[in-house]
Structure 1
């Protein structure tokens, strides 16, 4: 019997602020900028891309473009998205 799989989408499983924070914390620990960009895209989609863009002070199209596989969000976009999600950025010694 062949193994059957289903598509898993992180955006569909980020139900609470705690889930979002834990997800992003794990991604930030990895430190891969492309993974961070992808995770921000997942989180923004889970919350509603248009709503996050509005709260972050960017257009929906600008945010969507920044979070594509080819995108490279500016620092101001990253900070805006984090604030829009109700998250703060914390630095700690490695």
Structure 2
């Protein structure tokens, strides 16, 4: 019988705000200064909370958020701050 595998999705495991804060802190510590890595972590948290709500809370378009939090680009610090605030998280470096 073949083993079925599926791609890991961090968002599925981020259930509480404490989980999300701990995940963000761990990603900051692991990032080695890579802003795109931190943005991707915020994207995973946003996915867990709901991107549509984040879009409303930040005033940024959903497509812009998906792009900024994809891990493929370095988002502006202004965007990062808006997202962190809307997700009710703290940045600790």
Aligned pair partner of 1:44 in 46, 57, 78: 46
Equivalent residue, structure 2, for 1:29: 29
Please give the alpha-carbon distance, in whole angstroms, between the structure 2 residues aligned to 1:73 and 1:4: 35
Q: If the length of structure 1 is used for normalisation, what is the TM-score?
A: 0.82
1:4 positional shift: 4.8
Does the residue aligned with 1:29 lie in a helix, a strand or coil? Answer: helix
Structure 2 stretches lacking a partner, 5+ long: none
Q: If the length of structure 2 is used for normalisation, what is the TM-score?
A: 0.83
Superimposed CA distance per residue, residues 14-48 of structure 1 (whole angstroms, 9 cap, x where no aligned partner)? 00000000000001112332221211111111111
Does the residue aligned with 2:44 lie in a helix, a strand or coil? Answer: helix
Q: For the structure 1 residues 35 and 69, does the alpha-carbon distance in structure 2 shift closer, same or farther, using more than 3 Å as the test?
A: closer
Please give the alpha-carbon distance, in whole angstroms, between the structure 1 residues aligned to 2:68 and 2:16: 24
Equivalent residue, structure 1, for 2:59: 57
Runs (4+) of structure 1 moved beyond 4 Å? 1-4
CA RMSD of aligned residues (A): 1.8
Please give the alpha-carbon distance, in whole angstroms, between the structure 1 residues aligned to 2:71 and 2:22: 22
Give the length in aligned residue pairs. 91
Higher relative contact order (CA 8 A, sep 6+): 2
